[in-house]
Amino acid sequence: MPVETQSRLRQISLAQSNNTCDAEEYLVSPGQTDKATRLRERELNTKTLEVPCPQFGWPHDAHLQSCPHPMRMTREHTDDLKELHEALVLAINNIVERWWRDEEAAFWKRMPLDEHEELLLRWIDSQSGKESSRPFEKHQGSWRPDFLIEEVPALDGQVPKEQFRICEINGRFAFNGFLITAYGQEALLALGAEENGFSGGAESTEIIDGLFTLFDPEAPLHLLKGAEGGHDILMFLECAQRRTGVIPRIISPQDLRLVSDPASKTGYKLCCVIDVEKALSANTKHPKSSVFTDQATGEVLEVIDQVALELHQHELRALSTDMIQHISERCFNDFRSLFLVHDKRMLGIIHQELDSLVHKYGILTERQADVLHRGIVHTILPGSPELKAFVEQCQKESSFKDKYILKPVRGGKGEGILFGDDLAPEEWNEKLRGLGNAGLVQGGTTYVVQRQVEQPLYEVLLREEEGVQRNRLVGTYMSVHGKYLGVGCWRSGPGRVCAISHGGAWMVSVIGGN
C-alpha cells in the first residue's frame, strides 16, 4: 500500500503550487505545467544562483545541474530528521569519547584504523584535560549524513510512512554540500516559495552562519587542499571575501613547514610558504597574518592559526607525525570525525552499542535507541560475529545476497558500491572472504555489508530534454558541532546510485502541509 499522497515527498512546481490551502490539487508537479513555465523557472533559478556566487565561481558548472523544482516535504519529515539527528549525536559523542578508554568495548579492535591514524587519535585523546584539548562533543565539525527512503508500516497501523535511513555520514570535508544548499534555498525565494506559503527545508543564513562558527572569522584562515576537485570549498572563497573582506588562502601539503619556535609549547610553529606579491594581488593577505622570512631557507612563510582540510586519507598518511599533530590542533574538521565518524563502519558500531547506550550508560532513551535502529541502515562490520552469521546464510541460500550491498568504508559519491544482485554467488562469496579480518585491507578496498534499502520511485523532472522520470532519491542534512542546520540537497538520477557524477541532478526542499 503506497504512502498517502498528501503526506508523501513529491517534486513540485513553485510557479503553480500553493500551500495556503490543504487541498491536494494545490500541489502541482512540474510535469503538469507547460514547457514555457518550466523554462522560466529554470532560467530564473540559474540567474539567482549566480548572484551570491558568479558563474565562474561554480566549479564544474554545478549550478547548471540544479533543478528548479524542489522536493516538497512535510513537518513530519523534518521532525523525524531532527529526532534522528539528536539521537545520532548523543550516541556518537559517547562512543568517540570512550573509543580508547573503554577496554570492554574495545572499539579499536572492532574497527581498526591504520597505524598512523591510531597513533594520531590516541595522541589527541591523551591531550584530554590539557589547556589545548578539544572535547569532541564541542568540536565535531561539520557533518552531512546521507539518507535513503523506504516505505514501512506506520506505528499506528495506518497507511505506510516514508522512513529515512542514514546510509553514511560525510565528515571528511568541511564545506561539502553546505553552500550549494544555501544558495539553492535563496533561489527558491526568487521562485516564489514564501509568497506561495512554503518555508525552506533549510535557511540560507543559518547554514552560512553555521559554517562561520567553525573558525574565528577575525583571524587568518587557510584551506589545505589536495587532489580532490571540490565544489563548496572553492565557492567558500567568494563567500568568505564578502563577509570578511579577505579571501582565505588555499595551500597544498607541499607548502607546509614546521619552523622552530622557542615560545611554542611544542617548540615549533605551523607555517606555509607564500608568494607575497601574489598574495597582495589576490587579496589573500589577512591584516592580522604573521609573515616572516626563514633565515635558514630564505622562504617567505606565513603562520597558520586555523585551517580547513580537504585531503584524502592517503594524502594525510604522507604527512609526518609532528606535522599532522600540529594540524590537528588548528583544524576545524576534527580528525575524530574524519577517521571515525566518516567511516561507514561507525554505523555498524552504533547498531552494536544501542543496548549499552540505553541500559549501561544511560545516554539514550528506549525511544531514541529505536529511532536509531530504524533510522540507520543495517550495517555489518568486517570480522564481526554478525558477518560470520551473514556469510553462513549466504552460503546456505545463494539468493540471500540479493538484498544486500558491499560499500567501501571510506570515500563517497557512491563510488565502488557493489550490489549483491549484480554479482554471481562465487564473486560475492569471494568478496566476503576478504572481510574475515576486522582490519583495513592493505592495498585494497575494505567493505561493510549493508542491507539494500528498497527505495520507492518518485516522479521527477530533472532536465527538460529527459522529461518526467521515475527515479530514486538520496537526501542529506547538515550539522555543525552537533547543531542541526536543515535539509540539504536531494540528488536524483536514473540509476540505483544517485550522484551528480553519475548523471544525476540536485534540488533543495520546501516544507508544506500539516
What is residue 267's predicted lDDT score, i.e. its pLDDT? 87
Q: Which of 300, 315, 331 is the last residue of a domain?
A: 331
Q: Answer yes or no: do 303 and 391 share one domain.
A: no
What is residue 44's predicted lDDT score, i.e. its pLDDT? 96
Q: Mutual orientation of helices 178-190 and 232-244 as an angle, nearest 10°?
A: 70
Whether 1 shows a pLDDT value over 60: the answer reads no
Expressed as residue numbers, the domain containing 393 is 379-452
Q: Answer yes or no: do 256 and 325 share one domain.
A: yes
The better pLDDT of the pair 74, 283 is held by 74
What is residue 128's predicted lDDT score, i.e. its pLDDT? 79
Domain membership flag for residue 478: no
Q: Answer yes or no: do 223 and 318 share one domain.
A: yes
- Identify which of 450, 508, 510 has the alpha carbon closest to the alpha carbon of residue 476: 508
Spell out a b/e string for 215-231, using b for 16 or more CB atoms within 10 Å of the CB, else e. Answer: beeeebbbbbbbeeebb
Q: Answer yes or no: do 293 and 383 share one domain.
A: no
Q: Which of 434, 452, 470 is the last residue of a domain?
A: 452
Domain membership flag for residue 24: no
The total number of structural domains in the chain stands at: 2
Which neighbouring-strand residues pair with 222? Answer: 249, 307
Which neighbouring-strand residues pair with 406? Answer: 418, 449
- Number of other residues whose CB lies within 10 A of the CB of residue 116: 16
What is residue 498's predicted lDDT score, i.e. its pLDDT? 72
Q: Answer yes or no: do 259 and 322 share one domain.
A: yes
User: Which CATH number characterizes residue 390's domain?
Assistant: 3.30.1490
What is residue 489's predicted lDDT score, i.e. its pLDDT? 95
Q: Which of 419, 435, 452 is the last residue of a domain?
A: 452
What is residue 501's predicted lDDT score, i.e. its pLDDT? 61
Q: Answer yes or no: do 392 and 324 share one domain.
A: no
Domain membership flag for residue 399: yes
Sign of CA dihedral 153, 156, 162, 167: negative
Q: Mutual orientation of helices 366-375 and 75-98 as an angle, nearest 10°?
A: 100
Domain membership flag for residue 248: yes
Average pLDDT for the chain: 91
The one-letter code for the residue type at 27 is L
- Tens digit of each residue's pLDDT (9 = 90 or more) over 324-349: 999 999 998 899 999 999 999 999 99
Q: Answer yes or no: do 383 and 321 share one domain.
A: no
What is residue 3's predicted lDDT score, i.e. its pLDDT? 46
Domain membership flag for residue 19: no
Q: For the sheet containing 222-225, what is the strand order?
A: 249-251, 222-225, 307-310
Q: Answer yes or no: do 391 and 323 share one domain.
A: no
- Tens digit of each residue's pLDDT (9 = 90 or more) over 365-375: 999 999 999 99
What is residue 449's predicted lDDT score, i.e. its pLDDT? 98
- Tens digit of each residue's pLDDT (9 = 90 or more) over 37-68: 999 999 999 999 999 998 888 888 889 999 99
Residue with cell 604522507: 318
Domain membership flag for residue 55: no
CA-CA distance, 470 to 202, in Å (whole number)? 25
Sign of CA dihedral 48, 53, 57, 58: negative
What is residue 22's predicted lDDT score, i.e. its pLDDT? 58
- Tens digit of each residue's pLDDT (9 = 90 or more) over 296-319: 899 999 999 999 999 988 899 899
Q: Answer yes or no: do 391 and 320 share one domain.
A: no
Q: Answer yes or no: do 219 and 324 share one domain.
A: yes
Lowest-confidence segment of 212-221, 286-295, 410-419 by average pLDDT: 410-419
Whether 2 shows a pLDDT value over 50: the answer reads no
CA-CA distance, 52 to 55, in Å (whole number)? 10
Q: Answer yes or no: do 234 and 320 share one domain.
A: yes
CA-CA distance, 263 to 265, in Å (whole number)? 7
Mean pLDDT of 70-91: 97
Q: ∠ CA(476), CA(481), CA(485), 5° rounding?
A: 40
- Tens digit of each residue's pLDDT (9 = 90 or more) over 356-409: 999 999 999 999 999 999 999 999 999 999 999 999 999 999 999 999 999 999
- Tens digit of each residue's pLDDT (9 = 90 or more) over 485-496: 999 999 998 878
Domain membership flag for residue 481: no
Domain membership flag for residue 236: yes
Q: Answer yes or no: do 307 and 389 share one domain.
A: no
- Identify which of 131, 71, 48, 63 has the alpha carbon closest to the alpha carbon of residue 472: 71
What is residue 359's predicted lDDT score, i.e. its pLDDT? 98
What is residue 148's predicted lDDT score, i.e. its pLDDT? 97
Mean pLDDT of 193-221: 95
Whether 33 shows a pLDDT value over 70: the answer reads yes
Whether 473 shows a pLDDT value over 60: the answer reads yes
- Tens digit of each residue's pLDDT (9 = 90 or more) over 226-270: 988 778 898 999 999 999 999 999 999 999 999 998 888 888 999
